[in-house]
Amino acid sequence: MTHRSTHQQPAVSPVTDVPSALPPVDAQVLAETQRAVVGWYRAHARDLPWRESAATAWSILVCEVMSQQTPVVRVLPRWEAWMARWPRPSDLAAAPASEVLLAWDSLGYPRRALRLQETARAIAELHGDSVPDSEAALRALPGVGDYTAAAVTSFAHGQRTAVLDVNVRRVLARSLAGLEHRPSSVSRRERAWAEALVPAEDHVEWNAGLMELGALVCTSRSPSCEQCPLAQHCVWLAAGRPAHPTAARRTQAWAGTDRQLRGAIMRCLREASAAEQEGVPVRLLTAPLTELTDDEAEALAALPAPVHSAVMAVRNLDAGGERTARLVADLLSDGLAQRTDAALHLPH
DNA sequence: AAGTCGGGGGA
DNA sequence: TCCCCAGACTT
């Protein structure tokens, strides 16, 4: 059952060891690159709702947090519902945490939802319900790191700053440094290098354009260089798209881990709450799944299909219920399970 | 610098 | 299957 996959790629020198990484960029090349990115963005960017003029700084901050490690297409519907429900920071601040977690749905990393609510409270109480515009103040908010602070500074407040997400870093690494992959982490040096590349005007189109290019054209796996506006200047393409050795990176284990079970528990809680909101009475079972009475087993079988399957998923992962009990206690103490523990099967 | 934190879709 | 995704935070 447990594949503690510690699969490891051959150990080779990480990208950061390449001596010629992040070279100075010729002014002419930079100017043409900037023009190409901005022009391409204006012509080909997706019309995402948080890019419209009606988007508030708060809605942009929400979208950035939701997009942390989560593809944009998955964020879209949840963001729409979220902003309709809690248009201002103070609205989210006043919401029950259980509702916040339910609205987060299956975006993943649910602690981001709790941190976002903490951030909403901080903005409401400390900043007059409006998103701060200094990167330092933003960076002090829970769940707001270097990327998110820069993104809000650029996209919500129009200030000139380098927004370094995985897309921007990949596009810059390839087109201007000839590297297939970005360095593993953002060094002071890379940040300074990238900041010097931001044009004096059109910062938003530069930052958003690089992100869009990385998401749609200059993708990690199979870039579409034939339709890239930077193809003429791209150092990596000119070199024949050399495969660059990547740093050895072990993939995280999943099957059999607490993390997997925790995810199943959270799904179970979501499904049960959804069923309750639909008016379906979700019966509370207080015995471990292994010790159900006939009546309880019958009640379990009668649960709505999504709830039933969610319960069975938890059961399959932890038939004895001991890990479930421990993890639910952890989730409750972390604020991640709020009120919804009622639908679970806690040994007692 | 390395580990931990979900979840889903594509190659 | 493995990899990747508008990262942040702790150790």
Q: Output the distance from A78 CA to C9 C1' rounded to whole Å.
A: 24
User: Residue A168: CB partners within 8 Å, gap ≥ 6?
Assistant: A162, A194, A207, A210, A211, A214
Query: Do A282 and A250 contact (CB within 8 A), yes or no?
Result: no
Cα dihedral sign for A92, A93, A97, A98?
negative
DSSP output for A280-346: -------S-GGG--HHHHHHHHTS-HHHHHHHHHHHHH-TTSHHHHHHHHHHHHTTSSTTGGGGS--
Cα atoms found within 13 Å of the Cα of residue A167, Cβ hemisphere only: 23
d(CA A259, CA A211): 30
Tokens 């602690």, residue located: A111
Pick the closest to residue A165 from A144, A179, A186 (CA basis): A186
Q: Output the distance from A248 CA to B6 C1' rounded to whole Å.
A: 23
Name the residue with the least CA to C1' distance from nucleotide B2.
A249
Dihedral, CA of residue A132, residue A135, residue A141 and residue A143, to nearest 10? 130
Protein residues with Cβ atoms closer than 7 angstroms to any atom of nucleic acid strand C: A 3, 5, 7, 9, 48, 50-51, 63-64, 67-72, 109, 115, 142-149, 151, 165-167, 170, 208, 211-212, 214-215, 219-221, 251
d(CA A307, CA A113): 22
Catalytic residue among A32, A64, A212, A278: A64
Can you list the domains of chain A with their CATH numbers?
49-156 (1.10.340.30), 258-343 (no CATH)
Protein residues with Cβ atoms closer than 7 angstroms to any atom of nucleic acid strand B: A 69-71, 74, 106-111, 184-185, 187, 221-222, 250, 252, 257-259, 262-264, 266-267
d(CA A275, CA A269): 10
Q: Output the distance from A39 CA to B2 C1' rounded to whole Å.
A: 40
Q: Output the distance from A45 CA to B6 C1' rounded to whole Å.
A: 28
Q: Both tokens of residue A130?
A: 């409006």
A198: left (phi over 0), alpha (psi -120 to 50) or beta: beta
**Predicted local confidence at residue A295, as pLDDT:** 80
Q: Which nucleotide is nearest to A45 (CA to C1')?
A: C6
Q: Output the distance from A232 CA to B5 C1' rounded to whole Å.
A: 40
Per-residue pLDDT tens listing for chain A (348 residues): 233 333 333 323 333 334 457 888 999 999 999 999 999 999 999 999 999 999 999 999 999 999 999 999 999 999 999 999 999 999 999 999 999 999 999 999 999 999 999 999 999 999 999 999 999 999 999 999 999 999 999 999 999 999 999 999 999 999 999 999 999 999 999 999 999 999 999 999 999 999 999 999 999 999 999 999 999 999 999 999 999 877 666 677 899 999 999 999 999 989 988 888 888 777 655 556 667 788 878 878 888 898 889 888 988 898 878 888 889 889 988 999 876 544 454 433
Name the residue with the least CA to C1' distance from nucleotide B6.
A108
Cα dihedral sign for A157, A162, A166, A170?
positive
Chain C bases closer than 7 angstroms to a protein Cβ: 1-9
Q: Output the distance from A24 CA to B8 C1' rounded to whole Å.
A: 39
Which amino acid is it at A205?
A: E
d(CA A103, CA A105): 5
d(CA A191, CA A324): 43
User: Residue A122: CB partners within 8 Å, gap ≥ 6?
Assistant: A141, A142
DSSP state of A160: -
A64 is annotated as an active-site residue: yes
Chain B bases closer than 7 angstroms to a protein Cβ: 1-9, 11
